[in-house]
Amino acid sequence: MKSLFRFAFLILFSLSSLFSQIKIGYVDSETIMKQLPEAQEAQRRIDALVQQWQSELQKMRDEWKAKYDEYEKRKLILTDEARAQMEKELSELDRKIAEYQMQKFGPDGELYRKQDELVKPIQNKIFNAIKEVAVEEGFDFVFDKGGEILLLYANEKYDLTQKVLNKLLQIK
C-alpha cells in the first residue's frame, strides 16, 4: 500500500511539472515531532512510564526465575504435593507476568492509551498547521515523507469520491 502511495506521489509530481497549476509539497513529520517541545515532553513521559513498567516486569521475571531455580534444586526431594504446589505457583506467576505485559503493552494496553492521550492532540495540532500552511501557500497536495500517513492534505477540488460513488450507483 505504501508503494502505491509513493507511485501516486511520483505521478502527481510528474504531472505537476506538466501542469504548473498543481502545487505539491511535503513535510517530514518525524522531524517536526522530534523538534516540537511539547512532543518531546510527551515522549519523555511515555518513556518514563515504559521504563517503570519494564522495571516492574523485570522484578516479576526475577521472582519467577528465583522460584524456578529453587524448584529445580529441590524437585527431587519434594513430595508430589509440594512439587505440584510449586509448579502451580510458577504457573500462576507466569500467568501474572503475561497478564501484566498485556495490560501495559498489549494492543489495548495502557501504553497505547497513554500514547493516544498524549500524542493525538499534538498530531492534530500539526495536521491543522499543515492545512493552514497549505491553504496560505496555495498547495494542492501535501505529503509526509517521514511517517506512515503519506497524504496529509489534499485540496478538495481534486476529490473524486462523489463522482466515483455516483458512477458506481448508476451502474446498478
0.85 exceeded by pTM: no
Selection from 30, 31, 24 nearest residue 9 by Cα: 24
CA dihedral 136→141→142→145, nearest 10 degrees, is: -160
- Band (7; pLDDT cuts 50, 70, 90): low
What percentage of the chain exceeds 90 in pLDDT?
59
Q: How many other CB atoms sit within 10 Å of the CB of residue 55?
A: 10
Per residue in 38-72, pLDDT (tens digit) is 999 999 999 999 999 999 999 999 999 999 999 99
pLDDT of residue 116: 94
The strand pairing partners of 24, in sequence order, are 141
